[in-house]
Structure formats: structure tokens, C-alpha cells
């Protein structure tokens, strides 16, 4: 028997997507603060402690521990519940925070658990548990960077995560190995074996420009991959904001900007 609320949805847009969720009377969707976009009249918003899943019940200390772990992933102690308290079907929409794709995850079909990058979670049906997944190996803990502390989504309902750029899936067969940049990894199913591997080679380390470590994922299972990690996007924007343009102070000066399409 499914314990999470059974919600219907539709994803709109291309580069800047949003997910439109249809709620029957009494159904609830959970979302992180800042994800909300719009909702019909008859939907009630309520800020709750933790993720609102049934696992979070069972005493104040259990709730504190469950919600407190989410701070390690950079998330808030609180989430927002959107409940249809009116008559008939109502809709609520949640928007992606930066260019990319929204990935719908049917946890029931995916074995009840998906591990994803921190900050990837967007929204879910009430009853889905949002926690943290520690990588236990020493190498992963010391060098994993973005991949050390990850989110885990557990339950049998729908959950939605967001990733940057183009997003695609890889199905790994038993024993099949995939090496990937830790920032490009969006998530994977529960049977995937995840570890961190040293690139090796002095030239790779000094001149490679891709970092010293990468993630290894071994099947069986499904892996989601993104082409534009938000950390990479942020670093590029920061570099352009803090670095003088090459033509500034040159002979061309403002003419260079005109030729570059930047003239005003």
C-alpha cells in the first residue's frame, strides 16, 4: 500500500522549467523555501518542522534530529506544505532556481530510495522523507567535496529534483563502472556503489584543470548526470565579474566593445 500522497504533475518550459502539481482535496505537496511559484485559491500554505513524512513523527527529539541533519546539506530546518483544503482539484507550481531541467522521480518504481546532490531537491508528495546520505569511505569523506554529503529521498511517492544544463540518464549493468566529475553527478539509485578515485599522474594533477579526484559509480542501477553544475556556473559568473576585460586599456578601447557586440 502506497503511503505517500499520489499527486499528478506536468513539467513546462525548456531552459527555465517549472512543475505544475495537481492536488486532490486533502493532498499535500512539500517544497523547500524559495521554490514556490504560484497556486490556486483553496490551497493552504503551512511552514512545518522537518519534511512532514511519517518517519519524522515519534517525539520531539526524533523530529529535532531528523530536521537538524538537513542543515548539513545547506537546507533549512523548515519546509512548506501546500495542502488542498478546498473543493475539487487545485494546482500549485514550483520553479527551477537556475537554467536546467526538472527530473521527476517515482520512488516506488525506483526501489524506494534515490541519493542526489545536496540542493538538488525541489519538491515532493507528502510522505517522502528527505534526509542526508553520508559517504562512509575515508577517501570519499576527505576528498569527495560536493559528493561527500548528499541528500537521500526515501518513500513510495513522487519527488522532483533540479539539475543544471542538459540532463541525461545512464543505466549501469551489474559491475559496469562509470567515472564522472563529482559536480556533474545529480543522483543515483540505491544499488549503485559510489566512491571517490584519485586521478593520478603528475601532469593530470597539475595541468589537467579538472580537479584531482572524480567519482566512480558501479552498477547495477540508474545514474542522472548534468552538464552544468551550479558551482561551475557560479565560478564562471564570478570570474567575469571580477576580471577586467582583455580589451580594456588597449588601443581599441571602446571600439573593441562595439565589435564585440557590447557597445551601447
**pLDDT tens digits along 195-223:** 887 766 555 445 544 456 788 999 999 99
> Is it the case that residue 19 has pLDDT exceeding 70?
yes
| 70 or 29, greater pLDDT | 29
Of 45-49, 84-88, 195-199, 248-252, where does the model show the most confidence? 84-88
Q: How many CB atoms lie within 10 A of CB 78?
A: 14
DSSP 101-140: EEEEEETTTTTTEEEEETT-EEEEETT-EEEEEE--SHHH
pLDDT of residue 49: 74
- Nearest residue to 80 (alpha-carbon basis) of 125, 20, 127, 29: 29
Over range 138-150, report the average pLDDT: 53
> Is it the case that residue 88 has pLDDT exceeding 50?
yes
Least trusted range by pLDDT, from 51-55, 125-129, 210-214, 250-254: 250-254
pLDDT of residue 211: 52
Encode pLDDT of 29-47 as tens digits: 999 888 999 999 999 999 8
Q: How many residues does the chain have?
A: 264
Encode pLDDT of 170-189 as tens digits: 999 999 999 998 889 999 99
Report how far residue 35's alpha carbon sits from residue 7's, in angstroms, rounded to the nearest whole number. Answer: 17
Domains and CATH numbers, the chain: 8-242 (3.60.160.10)
CA 73 to chain centre: 11
Q: Residue 121's beta-bridge partner residues?
A: 161
pLDDT of residue 200: 62
Average pLDDT of the residues of the chain: 79
Over range 235-262, report the average pLDDT: 56
Confidence band (pLDDT; 50, 70, 90) for 250? very low
Report how far residue 34's alpha carbon sits from residue 122's, in angstroms, rounded to the nearest whole number. Answer: 9
> Is it the case that residue 17 has pLDDT exceeding 60?
yes
CA dihedral 170, 165, 101, 154 (to 10 degrees): 50
Q: How many CB atoms lie within 10 A of CB 72?
A: 13
> Is it the case that residue 64 has pLDDT exceeding 70?
no
Per DSSP (E only), the strands in the chain are 8-12, 18-23, 28-31, 36-39, 43-49, 78-84, 90-95, 100-106, 113-117, 121-125, 129-134, 149-154, 158-164, 167-172, 177-180, 185-189, 193-198, 213-218, 221-226
Least trusted range by pLDDT, from 55-64, 85-94, 153-162: 55-64
Residue the block writes with cell 505517500: 4
Report how far residue 121's alpha carbon sits from residue 195's, in angstroms, rounded to the nearest whole number. Answer: 22
Q: How far is CA 198 from CA 13, 139, 144, 181, in A?
A: 39, 9, 10, 12
Q: Give every CB contact of residue 214 below 8 A, 6+ residues apart in sequence.
A: 179, 180, 181, 182, 196, 197, 199
- Nearest residue to 25 (alpha-carbon basis) of 91, 85, 93, 92: 85
Confidence band (pLDDT; 50, 70, 90) for 138? very low
Residue the block writes with cell 500522497: 5
Amino acid at each position: 500500500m502506497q503511503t505517500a500522497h499520489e499527486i499528478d504533475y506536468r513539467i513546462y518550459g525548456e531552459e527555465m522549467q517549472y512543475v505544475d502539481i495537481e492536488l486532490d482535496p486533502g493532498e499535500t505537496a512539500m517544497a523547500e523555501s524559495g521554490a514556490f511559484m504560484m497556486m490556486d485559491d483553496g490551497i493552504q500554505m503551512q511552514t512545518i518542522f522537518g519534511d512532514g513524512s511519517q518517519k519524522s513523527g515519534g517525539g520531539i527529539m526524533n523530529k529535532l534530529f531528523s530536521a537538524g541533519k538537513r542543515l548539513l546539506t545547506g537546507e533549512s530546518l523548515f519546509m512548506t506544505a501546500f495542502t488542498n483544503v478546498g473543493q475539487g482539484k487545485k494546482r500549485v507550481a514550483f520553479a527551477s532556481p537556475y537554467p536546467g531541467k526538472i527530473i521527476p522521480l517515482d520512488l516506488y518504481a525506483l526501489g524506494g530510495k534515490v541519493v542526489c546532490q545536496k540542493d538538488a531537491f525541489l519538491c515532493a508528495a507528502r510522505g517522502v522523507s528527505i534526509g542526508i546520505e553520508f559517504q562512509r569511505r575515508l577517501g570519499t569523506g576527505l576528498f569527495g567535496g560536493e559528493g561527500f554529503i548528499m541528500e537521500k529521498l526515501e518513500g513510495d511517492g513522487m519527488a522532483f529534483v533540479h539539475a543544471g544544463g542538459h540532463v541525461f540518464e545512464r543505466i549501469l549493468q551489474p559491475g559496469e563502472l562509470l567515472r564522472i566529475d563529482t559536480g556533474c553527478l545529480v543522483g543515483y539509485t540505491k544499488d549503485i556503489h559510489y566512491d571517490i578515485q584519485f586521478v593520478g599522474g603528475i601532469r593530470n594533477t597539475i595541468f589537467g584543470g579538472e580537479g584531482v579526484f572524480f567519482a566512480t559509480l558501479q552498477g547495477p542501477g540508474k545514474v542522472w548526470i548534468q552538464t552544468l553544475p551550479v558551482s561551475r556556473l557560479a565560478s564562471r559568473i564570478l570570474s567575469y565579474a571580477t576580471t577586467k576585460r582583455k580589451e580594456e586599456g588597449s588601443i581599441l578601447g571602446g571600439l573593441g566593445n562595439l565589435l564585440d557586440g557590447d557597445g551601447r
